[in-house]
Amino acid sequence: MAYSVIAGDRLVAVVAAIGGIGLVVTAFALVGRWSTLLPWGFVGVGAGYAVFLSLRQDTVDARAPLVAAAFFTAAELSFWSIERRNWRSEARVVIRRLALIAAAGLTTAIVGGLLLLVASGRRVGTGQEAAGVAAAVLTLAVIAFLARRSRNSAST
């Protein structure tokens, strides 16, 4: 939300109000540990960014992949923080989960950047194409790993 307000030049108060309402709802949901209310807070924050985008002169926001990665990471950490659990996490488990969330956030930024690059129609070099292929393979590997992990934990 801060990026939308700082980078915006039109109707900044409207963008700030919409995003601010989303932040308040998110904070309220986190304090109350209400997982059903939490998505509505993120909807508000996302709506503030959408209004910001609709008011821009440029057609594309070059920082959108970073915003998407930050949004994804914030949502994952928020839902993790309100999970109901009756056990204490070991340090290894916490570190592993943080690493997975960081990797998924980074993957979000990379894939978003690649989609932005492809959508822009610019000619790219061989190195960028190789990075794109590597990012796509990495994304599929992460998805396959998470699906397999989810299936294994559901069967136990």
Cβ contacts of residue 130 below 8 Å, gap of 6+?
A: none
Same domain (yes/no): 53, 88: no
What's phi and psi for 146, nearest 5 deg? -65, -40
Give per-residue pLDDT as tens, 34-81. Answer: 888 888 888 888 888 888 877 777 667 778 888 888 888 888 888 888
Same domain (yes/no): 85, 144: yes
For 33-125, where are the alpha helices, taking DSSP H only?
Answer: 38-55, 64-81, 91-120
Same domain (yes/no): 78, 53: no
- pLDDT of 155 > 60? The answer is no
Note whether residue 62 is domain-resident: no
What's phi and psi for 10, nearest 5 deg? -130, 135
Note whether residue 74 is domain-resident: yes
The model's confidence at residue 28, banded by pLDDT at 50, 70 and 90, is very high
Domain boundary pick from 9, 31, 57: 57
- pLDDT of 154 > 60? The answer is no
Note whether residue 131 is domain-resident: yes
Residue 152, CB-side half-sphere exposure with 13 Å CA sphere: 6
- When pLDDT is averaged across residues 135-150 and rounded to a whole number, the result is 67
Give per-residue pLDDT as tens, 72-123. Answer: 888 888 888 887 766 676 778 788 888 888 888 888 888 888 777 776 666 6
Domain boundary pick from 36, 57, 78: 57
Same domain (yes/no): 19, 96: no
Quote the domain boundaries for residue 49. 1-57
pLDDT, position 13? 79
Total number of domains constituting the chain: 2
Residue 83, CB-side half-sphere exposure with 13 Å CA sphere: 11
Same domain (yes/no): 78, 31: no
Same domain (yes/no): 40, 103: no
Same domain (yes/no): 83, 12: no
Higher pLDDT, 80 or 155: 80
pTM given for the model: 0.66
The model's confidence at residue 18, banded by pLDDT at 50, 70 and 90, is confident
Note whether residue 139 is domain-resident: yes
pLDDT, position 2? 65
pLDDT, position 1? 59
Same domain (yes/no): 39, 72: no
Same domain (yes/no): 80, 53: no
